[in-house]
Amino acid sequence: MTEKAYRSGFVGLVGRPNAGKSTLLNYLVGEKIAAVSNKPQTTRYKIRGIVSRPESQIVFIDTPGVHKPGYLLNRRMMAAVEDAVLSVDVVVLIRDANVSTGNGDRFVLDLVKRSGKPAILLLNKIDKLRTKETLLPLIDFYRNEHDFAAIIPASALKGEAVETLLGAIDEHLPEGEPLFDEDDLTDQPMRMIVAEMVREKILASTGEEIPYVTAVVTEKWDETDPEKPVIHCAIFVERPSQKGIIIGKGGAKLKAIGTAARADIEKLLGRHIHLQLFVKVVEDWRNKERELNEMGVSE
């Protein structure tokens, strides 16, 4: 018997906002590198996570949830999804199995069909399902719509059926050498991951419009003290009133955001840091090319 050839390639994670794409990415790489929240449109740019196993290396691309774009920001987010779908070897459509099928789901399905790539359907959040019977009509619907390479009920949160997913992906990857070092979890710049961790804490601690009008940029990373680098992050909002909400009474909210983000960042870096946060008001940044470029939300 001949030994199975080593495989490597790219896999796009696509789906509606809140489906659990970033949760899956984090589970797969075993570290939190992508922001996760219960608010839609958490992810704003493509984030790559690398999974190296003896038989293959899979580079996952987490993408923003598919939604109707209004602002330039959102148009760029959707361009990132289109681009990801076209540049990968396999597409994984992630779908919350607890919600009924709507126009958004059809839109994502069309995107996957148009890509012409081998596609795997992941029916996520099965840990939340009251009864597994509701899965059957969902599976039927998708099976009739498209020739999926596999349909896998799973839980990204609990890691359920993730091994099955990896096995199904391997079958459709090209033979080839590893694309990254085996120890790498991501090729994302650490400055960007740090900014995402801060934004995640803002999303978790604010409601209403704040998550949508907020962006975070790491502006300075000072290693003068090698024992404890100082990281400066700017938090962008659109109006002074929003700045007030994020700072909170006597600065309490900003302090809590900083403490929570620092814990995540220190865990990922494996070292202590000093995190310095400040809030900047830039009117209508979501429609401004220059600001979006600075934030790394590329076309």
User: Residues interacting with ligand GTP, by CB under 6 A?
Assistant: 15, 17-23, 36-38, 40-43, 64-65, 124-125, 127-128, 155-157
124 versus 188: smaller Cβ distance to ligand GTP = 124
Quick one: how many helices (H) and strands (E) in the chain? Answer: 10, 9
Minimum distance of ligand GTP from residue 171's CB (angstroms): 23
Q: Can you say whether the dihedral through the CA atoms of 175, 180, 185, 191 is positive or negative?
A: negative
Can you tell me whether residue 86 is helix, strand or coil? helix
Note whether 200 and 37 are within 8 A (CB).
Answer: yes
Query: Among Mg ion, ligand GTP, none, what does residue 127 contact (CB within 5–8 Å per kind)?
Result: ligand GTP
**Cβ contacts of 221 within 8 Å, gap of 6 or more:** 190, 191, 229, 230, 231, 232
21 versus 286: smaller Cβ distance to Mg ion = 21
Binding mask 234-253 for Mg ion (x = CB under 5 A): --------------------
Minimum distance of Mg ion from residue 84's CB (angstroms): 12
Minimum distance of ligand GTP from residue 194's CB (angstroms): 18
Q: Which 29-58 residues touch Mg ion, going by CB under 5 A?
A: 42-43
> Exposed, middle or buried, 126 (CB in 10 Å: 0-12/13-18/19+)?
buried
β-pairing verdict for 230-237 and 274-281: parallel
104 versus 176: smaller Cβ distance to Mg ion = 104
157 versus 269: smaller Cβ distance to ligand GTP = 157
Query: Among ligand GTP, Mg ion, none, what does residue 124 contact (CB within 5–8 Å per kind)?
Result: ligand GTP
75 versus 239: smaller Cβ distance to ligand GTP = 75
Minimum distance of ligand GTP from residue 5's CB (angstroms): 32
Note whether 20 and 33 are within 8 A (CB).
Answer: no
Can you tell me whether residue 283 is helix, strand or coil? coil
Note whether 175 and 7 are within 8 A (CB).
Answer: yes
Backbone angles phi, psi at 74, to 5 degrees: -70, -30
Minimum distance of ligand GTP from residue 57's CB (angstroms): 22
22 binds Mg ion (CB under 5 A): yes
Minimum distance of ligand GTP from residue 56's CB (angstroms): 23
**How far apart, in Å, do the first and last CA atoms of the chain sit?**
48
82 versus 145: smaller Cβ distance to Mg ion = 82
Footprint of Mg ion (CB under 5 A): 21-22, 42-43
